Amino acid sequence: MAPVSTTAVVHSSAPSPPSGPIPGHGPVTRPNMVSVGTIVWLASELMFFAGLFAMYFTIRSVSPDLWHQRTDLLNVPFATVNTLVLVISSVWCQLGVFKAEHGQPARTGSFLQLRLWGMREWYVLTYVFGSIFVAGQVFEYASLISDGLTISADAYGSVFYLTTGFHAMHVTGGLIAFLLIIGRTFTTRRYTHAQATGAVVTSYYWHFVDVVWIALFATIYLLK
């Protein structure tokens, strides 16, 4: 008689992994397209500011005497403090990113317990510091205009207001983005992956304008 073979069926108590992708997430090997698109766009913005720097150095090379006269009007200590405000805002922004990546949109304890703050609180603090920076630039513009340095006064005035003014516009755009990100945490019950991604790419932009300003500060205020 031929032997009869039996097959043992072993049932595992562990659940089988899902066959499809997790909702809100792409495949593991696929990069986040929102992040990639933001980085590509920031690369184009980098080229824009590179053109402004090229314009600044070109005009400076043909008018060194004008630069020697006009740079004395700059309030370097005030600009240094304003720069520190923007740099510190990037620290608050990154702390908010850490909370967003861990899925914590808002604080889970007392307002005085900073370690329990969520993305919302850190981004609000970032917004406040960014607003102080913009207000500082407006104050500096008013002071320089009262001293006779306007955008149409001479070549130095033109390049100074163009370079710093375009940067101020980018900072203002970042502040608007922060308001949108913060507002979304109030309008939805569940903090989704898409919202966390929005918070992260906004931080990319904010760090970008921070680095650009450091370069502008060194070029305009330090390399006089």
Is the pLDDT confidence value at 13 over 60? no
Question: In this prediction, what percent of the chain has a pLDDT beyond 70?
Answer: 86
Domains and CATH numbers, the chain: 66-222 (1.20.120.80)
pLDDT > 90? residue 167? yes
CB atoms within 10 A of CB 141: 18
State the greatest distance between any 2 C-alpha atoms of the chain, in Å, as a whole number.
Answer: 112
Given this model, what pLDDT does residue 211 score?
A: 96
E strand or H helix at 130, and its extent? Answer: helix 119-146
Separation in Å, CA 97 to CA 13, 209, 213: 37, 17, 21
Query: Residue 101 half-sphere exposure, CB side, CA atoms within 13 Å?
Result: 10
pTM over 0.85? The answer is no
Mean pLDDT, to the nearest integer, of 90-118? 88
pLDDT-based confidence at residue 144 (cuts at 50, 70, 90): very high
Sequence-distant (6+) residues with CB within 8 A of 176 are none
Band (192; pLDDT cuts 50, 70, 90): confident
Please report where in the chains the tokens 């906004």 appear, as a residue: 202
Polymer length in residues for the chain: 224
